[in-house]
Amino acid sequence: MTKNQTNKKNNLKIKIDDIKDFLEKNPKIFRDKPELYEFISPPSRSKNNIIDIQQHMIESLQKNISKLKKSNSELISLSKENQISQEKINNVVLETLKARSLDELFKFILYNSEKLLDIDYVNIIFEKTENSEEYNFDKKIVFVESKQLKPFIKEDDYVFLSKTSRNNEFFFTGAQEKILSSAIIKLKLYKNSPAVFLVLGSKESEKFNERQGTELLKFLREALNSYFKLWLNQ
């Protein structure tokens, strides 16, 4: 046996002795800290195909603890993501309040909100009508035929989260990047205005998806609706 092997064996023996000593001094440790069962692997006492119930219970407990850890980790991660998203939306809303004209408001949304929201595409889409000239606030704004927007106009929902498909790809005809997921937000400028949508797009396929909550985006919608009405009514 080499010197290293001897040292390794001695170190292992010391650790085992330490564990024995600790357990002798703390006989109630597993009762007080049942989560420790996750880290032990008891010897099987099964014989002749008879199941060892105690071993089965410990293994079941270990699996449950593992699942709980995974769930807690996912909840913490989701909570952090929601907090970050909330900060982004709040920053956009606060910046819109700094606009001193309707022109400034549109320019901020079209050219500056993209960075604050950490996405790859932002635009405002208007339904094409006879009086479309009234809404030509910026060259970036796109006017789309009513028949293309009809499925979104008819829906009662105000926020549509999805991966980009044939059903909504026309929203991104002017995008320089390939948009893989999107949030389409139906706005309401005033009672008889044409349909108008705020379009948010991302190169990440999972940036927006149907499983996500829409509360923050609805808050953004209400804030923009109020601010648009404020300037359009002047």
Q: What is the pLDDT of residues 130-153, one digit of tens each?
A: 887 888 888 899 899 989 998 898
Q: How far apart are CA 14 and CA 99, in angstroms?
A: 71
Does a structural domain hold residue 212? yes
Does a structural domain hold residue 66? no
Burial letters 192-207, b for 16+ CB under 10 A, else e:
ebbbbbbbbbbeeeeb
Does a structural domain hold residue 125? yes
Which class for 80: exposed (0-12), middle (13-18), buried (19 or more C-beta within 10 A)?
exposed
Q: What is the pTM of this model?
A: 0.65
Contacts of residue 197, defined as CB under 8 A and 6 or more positions apart, other chains included, come to 124, 125, 149, 152, 171, 184, 185, 186, 187
How confident is the model at residue 44, as a pLDDT?
56
Number of domains in the chain: 1
Three-state secondary-structure class, residue 164: coil
Does a structural domain hold residue 148? yes
Strand extents, DSSP E, 117-173: 121-127, 142-144, 159-163
Q: Where do we find the tokens 């564990």?
A: 19
Does a structural domain hold residue 141? yes
Does a structural domain hold residue 183? yes
Tokens of 197: 């949508």
CA angle 204, 138, 142 (to 5 degrees): 55
Q: Where do we find the tokens 């028949």?
A: 147
CATH of the domain at 108: 3.30.450.40
- What pLDDT band is residue 86 in, cutting at 50, 70 and 90? confident
How large is the angle between the packed helices 102-111 and 53-96, nearest 10 degrees? 140
Average pLDDT, integer, range 222-233: 83
Phi and psi (nearest 5°) for 145? -60, 145
Does a structural domain hold residue 33? no
- What pLDDT band is residue 62 in, cutting at 50, 70 and 90? low
Domain around 148: 84-232
- Average pLDDT of the chain is 79
**How many other CB atoms are found less than 10 A from the CB of residue 110?**
18
* Local structure of residue 168 (DSSP, 8 states): T
Does a structural domain hold residue 137? yes
Decide if pLDDT at 9 tops 70.
no
CA angle 100, 105, 109 (to 5 degrees): 150
CB 124 within 8 A of CB 197: yes
CB 16 within 8 A of CB 24: no
CA angle 71, 77, 80 (to 5 degrees): 140
196-202 vs 121-127, strand pairing mode? antiparallel
What helix, strand, coil percent values describe the chain, rounded to 5? 55, 10, 35
Minimum mean pLDDT range among 38-42, 82-86, 119-123:
38-42
